[in-house]
Amino acid sequence: MGEYIVSARKYRPMSFDSVVGQNALTTTLKNAVKSGKLAHAYLFCGPRGVGKTTCARIFAKAINCQTPTAEGEACNHCESCEAFNQQRSYNIFELDAASNNSVENIKTLMEQTRIPPQVGRYKVFIIDEVHMLSTAAFNAFLKTLEEPPAHVIFILATTEKHKILPTIISRCQIYDFERMTVQGIIDHLKGVAQKEGVTYEEEALAVIAEKADGGMRDALSIFDQAASFCQGNITYENVIADLNVLDSDNYFNLIDLAVDNQVSDMMVLLNDLMGKGFDGGNLINGLASHVRNVLMAKDEATLPLLEVSQCQRERYQQQAKKCPAPFLYKALELMNNCDIHYRQSSNKRLLVELTLIQVAQITQPDDEVGAGRSPKSLKSLFGKKAIPQPKPAIQVAGGEKTEVNQHMATPPIESVGSDENHPSAEEKVVSTSTIAPGARLKLGGMGTSFADLRNGPGKPSYLQKEAEVENKDENTTFSQDELELQWMSMCNRMPQELTAMAARMKNMKPRITEFPQVEVLADNEMVLEEIHKLKSRIRSTLSKTLHNGSIELNIRLAKVEEMKKLLTPKETFENLRQSNPAIEKLRHALDLELS
């Protein structure tokens, strides 16, 4: 049994014509060889496995060929070509910048450029993964690259062009390699399979091509793996089992179920897939790519954007006819949001399930039971729920009643659900033709008299009466900590209209003077006046929560010396630094300054 060579090495292109998927680029290089118009530096950039280093070697071989063909290819017969094929050429040097990225390595390389070639016309230096050079190495390389000897040509190859210094890029001819198309990879794999005597299904090769993600080297490596697993007969089922790839039929089924609002069947299918070990995040990403392909298949103009086999393209077109465009747009948005939040989610499966449920509800009518969405029009909802209200009566002081104008009997829809303490202007309109002068009127259901309106708004409900202590018999002893705890709890429970007051009270610190007397200091007269209005309710609440009905509450204005000074950030830091020397040590160690 002979030595086994992987397909990526065995079928590596040896001429420009055998390079796959880079026709425009290889034509340009061949024309440069034919015309003899060669630049002193080239930059080959593009994704992995598309032929950058391979084209650099073919180009270097063609440059030094003594008898190139009319098309610009190397002859493979001259001394230079034979030396290259046998890997003994002294005119072509390869440097891996990933492991030789220091200034010393570049200086050694620059010394070699001074020696002219012994055979051939040029010395060609191929620097692979050039973006891995350090900044110092780039700077050392810059001068030689700017003015190299006439017999030197540099070919730089990289997958990350943005990491190369702009001064380097500006001195090179740049060639951007393209990603391999799915169909291009399939055609090349067919040729390899025929040479290796391997039978195949085209759908299986399409899965390999999609898995390779535009890289021919990756495709050949996956091909070898699949051929080994399938024992020379590459089938679709064996490939998806070997590569642990989700069958595309599942994506087609999920979208069909979603369009038909079959949530239960979608959940069963999701459970089966996750039970086989498929990750929910990968499932959502794959489904999003599938929906994108369906969207592209809806229009003949975007059909060429599908990087799938011809059989799959026809399936996408069939499903696109059943899926409305708004459904596809919304589904893509939902799955994109799921992908964004998937990594941070603590319950990833639930997030995937909710996303699929929402996708299934896109085409479900709003009025259908279980749609799970709010009505489109709140006005329509109020129109169904509105109940005619009874006529409000006007009560005269003498006990007689006068009816409100007839047009007030049924309030408009907009007034339904409004605050009962803030009636609409239409509800305030009354007929006064039959009311005696000086009579006291009361608007039924509003709780506000005309006298109240003249004298200003009435007191809020929490100020209308004094609160009484209900547990006068209890006499439990409490501590300062318990007092502060119950004070803070009381502030947190205060009603919404007292939010501002509660915030001020949280900054106050009640203290026990002579048990059970409690003193509270207000920092200004306005706060003192407002808290006095709540004094009885505060005392009642503290008595109840501290189980002591004898509590006496004393609220007074704080003296100047009793008021707590508000410290600036710098003053706060100074106090921390004085009390804790470790903070100052940390500041010195990190060389920090307070801005």
**What are the residue ranges spanned by the domains of the chain?**
7-176, 182-243, 248-360
**pLDDT, mean of residues 375-384:** 43
| Residue 582 dihedral angles phi and psi, to the nearest 5° | -65, -30
Determine if the peptide bond prior to 516 is cis (ω within 30°). yes
In CATH terms, the fold of domain 248-360 is Zinc Finger, Delta Prime; domain 3 (1.20.272)
Q: pLDDT tens, 237-270?
A: 888 888 878 888 889 999 999 999 889 999 999 9
| Residue 437 dihedral angles phi and psi, to the nearest 5° | -60, 140
What confidence category does residue 409 fall into, taking pLDDT thresholds of 50, 70 and 90? Answer: very low
**pLDDT, mean of residues 466-481:** 85
Given this model, what pLDDT does residue 515 score?
A: 87
Left if phi > 0, otherwise alpha if psi is -120 to 50, otherwise beta: which for 535?
Answer: alpha
State the chain's mean pLDDT as an integer: 79
What confidence category does residue 584 fall into, taking pLDDT thresholds of 50, 70 and 90? Answer: confident
Residues in contact with 18: Cβ distance below 8 Å, sequence separation at least 6, in sequence order: none
In CATH terms, the fold of domain 7-176 is Rossmann fold (3.40.50)
DSSP track, 24-74: HHHHHHHHHHHHT---SEEEEE-STTSSHHHHHHHHHHHHH-SS--TTS--
**pLDDT, mean of residues 361-381:** 56
**475 pLDDT exceeds 80?**
yes
Given this model, what pLDDT does residue 460 score?
A: 59
What confidence category does residue 141 fall into, taking pLDDT thresholds of 50, 70 and 90? Answer: confident
Given this model, what pLDDT does residue 358 score?
A: 92
**pLDDT, mean of residues 569-574:** 76
What confidence category does residue 434 fall into, taking pLDDT thresholds of 50, 70 and 90? Answer: very low
CATH 3.30.2010.10 assigned to 182-243: no
**pLDDT top residue among 282 and 462:** 282
147-156, 197-206, 393-402 — which is least confidently predicted? 393-402
**pLDDT, mean of residues 368-390:** 46
**Helices and strands per DSSP (H, E), number in the chain:** 25, 13
Given this model, what pLDDT does residue 394 score?
A: 44
**114 pLDDT exceeds 60?**
yes
C-alpha count within 13 angstroms, C-beta hemisphere, residue 361: 16
**354 pLDDT exceeds 90?**
yes
What CA–CA distance (Å, rounded) separates 255 from 324? Answer: 12
